Structure 1
Amino acid sequence: MKKIYPCVDVDLGKITHNAKTITDMCNKVNIEVAAVTKVFCAQSPITEAILKSGIKGVADSRISNLKKSKDLNCEKLMIRIPMISEAYEIVRYSDTSLNSELATIRALSVAAKDLNKIHNIILMVDIGDLREGVLIQDATSTASEILKLDNIKLIGLGTNVTCYGGVIPDSENLGILIKLKGDLEKSFNISLPLISGGNSSSLHMVINNTMPKEITQLRIGESILLGRETAYGKPVANCYEDAFILKGEVVEIKNKPTIPTGKIGVDAFGNIPHFEDLGIRKRAIIAVGRQDIRLEGLVPVDSDITVFGASSDHLIIDITDCKKELSVGDVVDFNVDYGCLMAAMTSPYVEKYYNN
């Protein structure tokens, strides 16, 4: 098959392997994994590869992605705080949603009643990262109101850390969530079987055997896909870090100076670029740019190649020290980080190929 470039080559076998490795690790400490599918736009070959591992549920932040998984035999979790305007679709396409606003939960109650469904709620609690979640002092009054609603079932508490404020999950801040669970169960004589203890940044606690036993769920995306936990960026043992490879075609090779000629103003993105004078270098242009990728998350597989920069459509690399003689029409491979992968998988200009 002739490939169209730029593209992302996806190794489905490596993804299944990573998912099983992480699921087995979590299941040993009674934690269920909800696989986050948003970074790859819930493309079905990847979701199905993940589910082969034994993971029982998928999670996403977009209704359009959950719709792609509607026929899959698994639990569906909405992980972005829902919009009131999408209440009916939330109930239709997800079994459970993360919530922090009573007005939205009331709208979900109306939708669930109209659709003759029970919708599960995980009440999100802010333990310091300052993204979504009720404040700790407001959790009891919020839970009291949720428990009054028809067709809504409060099944547990959740939190998110690292994504916004960079707060690293530990036994102390997760302990706040655990204590709150006990307080609510006692106050309302209820059982809250689920504590959703965060995302891939919480996985380091499973690896280091420091995860509190009360945590019953993690929402894992990056660790499955790129084989690393995100609190410290360390590789997960026995996981692949190269399940996704970005490939781009060389469209120009020229020997050029490294300092532009003329007065420097702002670039296409409003930044004033800075350049280091390295003399004349052999430069190649790859037909992919900032419209498709996050430049800072792109690393050439060939360590003798370095990235100079990019415009919206052109990636400029230094191939002076490259041992392989590159020509126009050749393809260069790149590893990607989470942000770069998200951009590439979202871009309609980047083809996707799936290898078993």
Structure 2
Amino acid sequence: MENPRININLTQIRENAERVFENCRNNNISLTGVVKVGAGDIKLAQSFINGGIKSLGDSRLDNIRNLRRSGYQGETVLLRLPQLAEVTEVINYADLSLVSEVVTVKALSEAAVKVCKRHGIIVMIDVGDLREGILPDQIKDFFREIVNLPMLDIRGIGTNVGCYAGVLPTISNTEILVELAEELRDYYSLELPLISGGNTATTRLLSDNTLPEGINHLRIGEAILQGTDITNQRIIKDLQQNNFTMTASIIELKDKPSAPTGEVGYDAFGNIPVYEDRGVRKRAILAVGRQDVKLDGLIPVDEGIKVLGASSDHLLVDVTDKKGCLSTGDELEFYLDYGAILRLMTSPYVYKNYIMF
């Protein structure tokens, strides 16, 4: 089988999608499944669809275009704020987009008018994480500029936490959305059917039965893909983990000193590496590197293996303490965190191995 490869357990991902979808439905919450980690992978998206999810979100318009061209007819949500240069494409391929700039909303309206196609928007509110969104005290002025624009449906308001500054979702910062929605409905006589309370991190409030009443939409990817919630540092009960692994083959296996010889300067990435001298150790070089994977997102499946470092194309691991014999050409497998999955799925040099039962 080809190497390096990312092993994708589509069956377990589908089962996670089913459970997350059912949980949201039982709590009167609509769900957008976030497939952006797949870099447009249609089979991965299909596992979400097979799990009952009818709305898919991605940050890249190219990936949404691929979904449409593959025959997907469900709702598509552009999660990254639209670029002004792509508004026509947004109208053509996305049903709903997240927005925070008046100039962008006006451009979307103009593009929608030209093709006579209505487009939905969710206005993003920044409740503290300092990524995208309008500050709460500026929201009425923002709506004043957009409320009467033609061919646009203001579907609701939303927020995002955890992805940039690591701000945790709480009852108080999530209630801000509910309160603002009520004010805007009254002030502008709007329906605002969606209050999009966040991502996987917000599911902790749902699990604790503390999600403020009124939050009725979530955008979830990590929980379905990995069964984890990294922002809250938790394994999510009843979901399956380790649905992705990486396999790479050994291209060199030798006993070598654990500390380099000679004057040490900067490495290829501008860092000065520091090495612990542990004497002579058995080291393996694997045919994968930083260009393909996030180094600190690798967790060896087998005990006794330690990741030492990597260059663009070579991953170095200490295998001295691994039980059993290894030879050049053997494969090693690693569990992955979300960032490592993202890099591997994006790399054109990594083979995608789909697992289905």
Q: The TM-score by the shorter chain falls in which range?
A: over 0.9
Q: Which residue of 1 aligns with 2:227?
A: 227
Query: 1:1-356 maps to which residues of 2 (within 5 A)?
Result: 3-70=1-68, 71-356=71-356
CA distance in 1, matches of 2:233, 2:48: 21
CA distance in 2, matches of 1:326, 1:32: 50
SS in 2 for 1:183: helix
Shift of 1:22: 1.4
CA distance in 1, matches of 2:240, 2:311: 30
CA distance in 2, matches of 1:230, 1:315: 25
Is the Cα–Cα contact under 8 Å of residues 7 and 246 in structure 1 kept in the other structure? yes
CA distance in 2, matches of 1:230, 1:140: 34
CA distance in 1, matches of 2:115, 2:170: 40
Is the Cα–Cα contact under 8 Å of residues 29 and 213 in structure 1 kept in the other structure? no
SS in 2 for 1:309: strand
> Percent identity between the aligned chains?
43
The CA deviation string for residues 304-324 of structure 1, in whole angstroms up to 9 with x for no partner, is 211111111111111111112
SS in 1 for 2:210: coil
CA distance in 2, matches of 1:295, 1:231: 19
SS in 2 for 1:69: helix
The CA deviation string for residues 259-285 of structure 1, in whole angstroms up to 9 with x for no partner, is 100111000000000111111111111
Letter in 2 for 1:159: T
CA distance in 2, matches of 1:277, 1:122: 55
Shift of 1:42: 2.3
SS in 2 for 1:42: coil
Letter in 1 for 2:265: G
Is the Cα–Cα contact under 8 Å of residues 308 and 317 in structure 1 kept in the other structure? yes
Letter in 1 for 2:305: I
* RMSD over aligned Cα atoms: 0.9
The CA deviation string for residues 328-347 of structure 1, in whole angstroms up to 9 with x for no partner, is 10111111111111000000
SS in 1 for 2:250: strand
Letter in 2 for 1:355: I
Is the Cα–Cα contact under 8 Å of residues 25 and 206 in structure 1 kept in the other structure? no
CA distance in 2, matches of 1:278, 1:33: 51
Deviation larger for 204-213 or 111-120: 204-213
CA distance in 2, matches of 1:230, 1:327: 36
Is the Cα–Cα contact under 8 Å of residues 282 and 320 in structure 1 kept in the other structure? yes
The CA deviation string for residues 14-34 of structure 1, in whole angstroms up to 9 with x for no partner, is 100111111112222111221
